[in-house]
Amino acid sequence: MGISALGNAMVSRRITHRTRGHKHGPIVRLMSPSDLGQLIKPFVFLDLFEGDRSFLGQMAMHPHSGIATVTVITEGNLHFDDPESGSGEIAYGGVEWMRAGGGVWHGKEMSAGTSERVQGFQLWIALPPDLENAAVDSQYLEAAAMPEAGPARVILGHYAGGRSPVRAPEGINYLLVTLSEGTSWEYTPPAGHDALWLSVARGQLTSPDVVEAGEMVVFEPGSASIRITAGEGDAVFVIGSAIAHPFDLNLGYYSVHTSPEALRAGEQKIAEIGLRLREQEQLRNRSGSVPIFK
């Protein structure tokens, strides 16, 4: 049970929202900027994906602006190949970070790895005004580069002495956690992290209510810790906390910005890049790839 001291009483931090999202083939959309993203911004979007390695070939090039995407793998592995970052493997504990900023097209930088199946989460972070129309920034970090804090890998932010190498804005924590059956773990958010949520990839948790695989839950705002216990079998989940994003979410189809003006600038940049991308598509060898176009 998540607890905080109030005299001699113990106060739990309640779950206020839960969802199983909407399934589209191998992807379950758990959160969008128009629903739970409004409650826990800067976290504005979450997909849980799971399938055999063939589904990656179905991913098309697509644009973003105003956000950063964070992809973590909970089972299996993916191969990354980017002209500016080299190539390697993203497995459990590794991360792909892509700050779209003022505009980018991507979708081919990740491909099937050596595993037959793969499972993971993709999260979107709404960026503050100084970054939402900034230059693109990509990082591919293998598991060995990510700090561990007990059962947690520190994907974004800092926790229990571990600081993520991801170049994310301050005030955001995002952890990937595995708990063995019957064990408990307590998460104490940093000061000011009123937004708190988690989503389970495999297994079952109690915190103090039961949260099952495939669910996402949002906790009431506050500063109290939560205590999480794994049920039968190991539990794999992600948990995020953050200082609230103090801006309205201005939404495009692939974009989230803090103002209508910033959204227009981002969508204009996306359109310009898309035109250049189509021109290059006509010229390049069809067997090649364009992982990120900015």
Rounded to the nearest angstrom, the gap between the alpha carbon of residue 11 and the centroid of all alpha carbons in its chain is: 29
Domain presence at residue 283? no
Domain presence at residue 182? yes
Domain presence at residue 139? yes
Domain presence at residue 274? no
Q: Are 139 and 97 in contact (CB under 8 A)?
A: yes
Q: What are the 10-residue block averages of pLDDT along the chain, 294 residues in total?
A: 34 88 94 97 97 72 94 91 77 93 83 87 97 94 94 97 96 98 95 97 94 97 94 96 97 95 96 84 53 56
pLDDT at residue 293 in the model: 54
Domain presence at residue 275? no
pLDDT at residue 110 in the model: 75
C-alpha angle 166-170-173 in degrees, rounded to nearest 5: 70
Q: Is the pTM of this model over 0.75?
A: yes
Retrieve residue 40's tokens.
């826990």
CATH at residue 211:
2.60.120.10
Provide the residue range defining the domain that includes 186: 21-250
Cβ neighbours of residue 144 closer than 8 Å, sequence gap 6 or more: none
What total number of domains does the chain contain? Answer: 1
Domain presence at residue 269? no
Domain presence at residue 71? yes
pLDDT at residue 6 in the model: 33
pLDDT at residue 287 in the model: 44
- CA 163 – CA 18 distance, rounded (Å): 29
Instruction: Identify the DSSP state of 93.
Output: T
Helix, strand, coil percentages, rounded to 5, for the chain = 15, 50, 40
Phi then psi dihedrals of residue 262, to 5 deg:
-65, -35
C-alpha angle 234-211-238 in degrees, rounded to nearest 5: 65
Residue 1, CA distances (Å) to 17, 184, 192, 207, 213 in order = 17, 10, 21, 5, 19
Domain presence at residue 95? yes
